[in-house]
Every structure is written in structure tokens, then in C-alpha cells.
Structure 1
Amino acid sequence: MSDLEIRPATAEDIEAIVAMLADDPLGAQRESPDDLAPYLAAFELLESDPHQHVVVAVREDKVVGTLQLTIIPGLSRRGATRSIIEGVRIHGDERGSGLGTQLIEWAVEESERRDCRLVQLTSDATRTDAHRFYERLGFEASHVGFKKNL
């Protein structure tokens, strides 16, 4: 798929990113594609933080995938830096094309390039297909996660 470009997201990409975030049963409950203001404000913060990398996959001038990679320096694991992959979304027309694999491979390579010792991600407990996908890519279910809405 040489016609694919993975590049940093821009503010002009936010509408397409939010549409992908909202395009599943979970996202439809928590995203508001009709009001981009909070997403643009959040993107401004992300863009100004050198540890945050929001990227898009573009094919034929259309945003077809996205993810956020966060680099976290830490004290544990002998001062290791780790990365977290979040917000992985693939446009409905591209699902099953291998694009998700390409995005995750990009994130792992970028993490290695930034001297991360560990790449981690979370996936909603209901997304069993996503769990199988991540396991095929070498990720292991290793922790129990907890969240608290504020």
C-alpha cells in the first residue's frame, strides 16, 4: 500500500478524526461530532506537547485512520520511558485492509526510535475483536485497568 501516508495530524483533520472516533457503538455514546470546539481545544494542547503525537493515515487525500502516541518518561523499570497508544481508529471503508496493522507498526517503530522500553495500550473490555488484533501483533493482556469518571 504505497499510496498511504502516515503524518502528523493538523487542525484541518479534526473533523475526520472525530467522525472516526464516533463511528462505533461506544464512540457514538461519548463523542459529539456536531461540536468540534472541544476537540480543537484539546488538539491545540496536544500539538504543543512534545510527548504527544496524533497522526493520521491518508490515502488519496482522505483521512482513513488515526491514533495518538504518548511518550512517558518514568522512574520504574530502571528509569524507562514507555509509550501509550490510544484512539486507534480506522475508517469503515478501510477496515480489514491491513491499515490498522500499519498504524500500530508505525507506533511501535516510533516508540523504539524514541528509546521507549515498553509500548502499552488499553482496549475497552467489550472490544474482543480488537483484543485478538492486538494479540496477533504481539501485545499481551497483562494488567487489570481501572477508571474513575470525574
Structure 2
Amino acid sequence: MGQYVDWLVMLLTGSLLLVWIYRALYNWLHAPPGMKRLRLGKGGEWSADEPGVQVLEANGYTVSSGKHRVPIVVGWNGNRLQSRLYIDYIAERDGKLYVVKCARDRQPMEWTGSGIRDRLIAFALMLPESSGVLYVDAADGTVHEITFEIGVYER
């Protein structure tokens, strides 16, 4: 009798193991292709005296990290070109994470849908867990919260 119980336990254990392996393979095969996730470090140095930080804090945001340099390698006709994107700050408010870009005099923002898209969508796509991009104009003391809804178009 004990021999049958042992076989039953082994059969049940083997069946559960096969079901677990089948489900893991099924989920792996049917999952969307993964992207390499960007992981930002603690960022560069920043201080509370910087105009961008002061404007963010005056508008209720907390700066959680300083400047980030994101290296990018571009393949072009068999060549490898190196470039980079700069994130000025990472800020938080109400439990939401934001990528921050500060206004530059030599690169004025074109406040149209295509102008905002061309300048800032890369930052939203780079960190999909963020709630949007904050565009800080320290000269005006303004913070513009920009979000992108990709694939949603309303007439």
C-alpha cells in the first residue's frame, strides 16, 4: 500500500512540475518582446540654489536626482556614431515621477504639437515609468507638465 502512495505522490509532483514548465514557456513565448530598460543612477550634482530646482520646488515638486547623461550609439550605414541625451533632473510630486528638461536660450521651444513632440518625446519614451516630462523655464518661473498618449487620437 505504501508503494502506491509513493508513486501517487511522485506522479502528482511530476504533473505539477510539467504544468509549471508549460505555463512558463507559454508566457515567455506569448509575451511582447522586451526592451532594454534604462536604469538611471543617482545622477550628477545639483543644489537647491539652482534656478531650475527653485522653480520646481516653488511649484510643489521635489527634485530626487541631478543631471543625467544618457549615451546613445547610432548605427548609420555600417558606421557607429556616438551621441547622448541629457536629462536635467528627475522630480517627484504626489508619488509620480517626472523627467525634467530646462529651457535654454539657444534652443527655444516651439509650442506646437509637433514642436513639443520633436523636442521631448524621446525623454518620455526613454523612461516609460515616468508620468511625463516637465519643461522648466527658470526665467519665467514656469513649469509645463507634458504628457504623451501614443496611439490615441481624438477628432
Does TM, scored on the shorter chain, surpass 0.5? no
TM-score (norm 2): 0.26
Higher helix residue share: 1
TM-score (norm 1): 0.27
